[in-house]
Structure formats: C-alpha cells, structure tokens
Structure 1
C-alpha cells in the first residue's frame, strides 16, 4: 500500500493511492495514519479499494504519518558521501535527532531561517516504525518496520558546523524535514538495499545515488538504534544521503531564495519544494 495524508495543514485526512494513481479517502476506515493505525496495518486491507471515495488530484499532500515522536538521523551512512566530505568511514552509525516540528508535506515550501547562508539538500530513505522496538535482535529487526518514505534532510550548514555543539542546530529548523508523499508498505518494496535516489536543484541533477552504497543497512540501523533508545510507532529513521550535497561541491553550492528542489526514491514517489526566506507570513 501507498498510504498518505491529504488536506490543509493541521487538518489532514488519511488516504491511500490506488493502482490507477488516484487518491482514495480512508477517513471512513481509520481516523489517521498514526501510531494506532501503524500497529495494525491489516485493518486497512479490509475494504475494497474501489469502494473508497476518490479525492481531487489537486489536493495538498501532507506528511504521510501523523504524530511522529522523533526523527532519528544517521550521518555519513553512504560510503561515497563519506568520501566526498573527506571523512573516514564510520565504525558505528553516527546518530543525531531532527526535531519533529521540522516536518512538513513533501511539496510545501522550505523556509530558510533568519541568518541562514548555507542551506543544503539531502535526499534520504526514511523508515517508519510500526511497533515499539527496544533492544531488538538483528534477525527480527524488519518485524518492527511499517514501511518507507522519502525524506529531504534539509540542513543549514553554518548552524550545523560553525555554531558549536552537535549537528542538531542545523537540522531541526521549521520546514527542514519534508516527508512523503507516501508511506509505502514493505510488500511493495522488493529490496530496500537497491533503490535509486536522486535530487535536482533548478532542474540540474545534483544527487544520483543508490541505497546499495549504504554502510549500515536498514535492519542493522533498527537493531542498533533500539539499543540506545526505544523506537515508538510512527517514529522515523532517516538513513543517510548519497553524494552530491551542496557542501561537497567545489566550490560549495548553497540554496537561494526561489530555488526549486525536486527529489525522489525509486518506488516511493517524489517531492518538490520551493525555497523561501523567513517572514512572518511564510510561517503562518
């Protein structure tokens, strides 16, 4: 299934994408795509899809999961990305947190905060947790996964690397986590470890990678992270980015107002964000 949420910000309704590419309204079946629904995905297989109301194709798409408790990110998890940054291959996953308040829909504007000067893009494979995961054995790790989605781990590198402390400062700004368009369940993804992923800025391809260059794969990340914190239904693991980020270019390339980012992952859909500068109106 390709699950999604649609409607105005703060009033999204649950839906799914049918085989013809039409959005179907699921609000008569579940109240939302949230922790309760993720823990019992079988409930969504009961009604015939063609009996569900069709939604206008022009509707806004929101983040595919409601009530995300935390976003756990993995740094330098692609061997080719680590090389482009000039850093050594990590011996263990590098973890940091991205604020849940940074989540927006896949096509919403990305807002550069006051003083931002080194905005950057990162297409990433997101993993959504289905049930509480604590000290998970590696062999059972995928039993805790509801599905996958596209994440843009937008970053402000000056905040991240030049303001002291940990990476979180440059990662958690409002709108810095476009999520979706879909939460795709695992039955529709033959292999998480061989998915093409890409990002363009103003039509120019900047990232063109594949999940096969991940250093630590999805089962290992679920297992590893659960040794340090419990993962709850609806939590998202953002698993790292391939090469081609603006920071790695020579000279570096940073996001500017009115830039257009388009990105996607094979089988998981695409995103499209316009970059704007912070104003009170932009954040309303």
Structure 2
C-alpha cells in the first residue's frame, strides 16, 4: 500500500507544474486577462487537434516533419560521430582543422538557409541540409569531448596486454566515449526540431512548421497552438526514443554506478 501511495505522490509531484501551467493558460483568456485572439485556451487547442485527427491532416503533417527531421539527423549523426572519433583520436589532425571548425560552428543554420536555397533549391534537400547543420555540431563536439576524456588508465591497461590500436579504438575508446556521444545525439535531436520549424516555414506545403505559420496567417489561432503543442510532443517522442537507444548501448554504465554506490 505504501508503495502505491508513494508512486501516486511522485506522479502528482512530477505533473503538478504542468497542471498548474495548463490551469493558468485556460483561465487567462477565459477571464479576459488576455485576448483570445492572441491566446487560445487549451480546451480549444484540444478541439483543433481533434479536427486535425478526424480530417487525417495530422498524419500528413507529422509524416512530412518526421521525414525531414530524421533525414537531416541521421546524416548529422553519421558524419558527426565519424569525424568526432577521428578528431578526438588523432590530436595533430584536430589541431590542424579545429580553427576552421570553430569558425564554421559559429555560423547559424538559419543564416545559411539562403545559401542552401541558392545551391540546393527550395525543395526537400535544402530543408534536410539546414536540419543537418543544426544537429551536426553538438554531435561532433560531444563526440570529440567523449573521446578526449576516456580514462588514460584504460588505454594504458589495454596496451600493456598487447592490444593493437584498432582493437583499443573499437573496444575501449568507442564504448568509453558512448555516454558523451549520446549526449551529443540527444542535443542534436533537440536542435533538429528547432531547425525543422524554420525549414518548413519557407517553401513547404506540409509539415508542422508549415501548419503553424499557415494557421497564423489565416488567423486560426487555436490551430496554430495545436501545431506548436504537436511539435513539442514530436520533440519529446524523439528524445524518448534516443534515450532508449542510449540506455541500450550504455548498460555497462548503470552497472558501474551501482558498483560505485555499493
């Protein structure tokens, strides 16, 4: 009984802030403190989401957004991890190319959007490119940091037992750097959702970013907030999936934490 009461208390405690926020959001326009023309109550937003589901438009917009975000994110993950492992392991190469990378990473993905459009057109490729650029840098930098902070004792121990460089790289460096790599991937996932909105607001006919902007332009404010809420849930879902993948590949870390606690 105590276990269930503790679970219920924890559930309420963790959701209390969201409940309070929704109540304030509902009351502000209902009481006339904020005009409904600018802030639709959550109940009206839920009705707008239900309309999206009933018409089938929800799945069209979500599918378009998922396709664009995943295409850019997958390319960013692949290239960011590969280049990050190389830079973290080969210090001379990192010293040579790091100034150029530091210059590039200061350039906002949104500032480069006109360049992407010039070279790649206004279609899907340019949208994937801006998402890639936004997600690439946190993945790259966290991968480099993860490799650099691998415990030197682990590497020296493997070398003392006659392990080759490729073996150390595969069996020591990559697993030990995995927590840092996945931190970068989850940050990249968050950044790709942010970039997705900007990418879909230009030259798109579908996607949640397009839906938000289009609803604002035709003054369907509940639908605009519905798109924002759905985009937030899309980001939460993506982060949850990445967290599951991280837990799958870093099981050893949990065992290490338990050993240290004991």
Query: What TM-score do the two structures reach when normalised by structure 1?
Result: 0.21
- Kindly name which structure, 1 or 2, has the bigger radius of gyration based on alpha carbons: 2
Query: What TM-score do the two structures reach when normalised by structure 2?
Result: 0.22
- Decide which structure has greater strand share: 1
- Decide which structure has greater helix share: 2
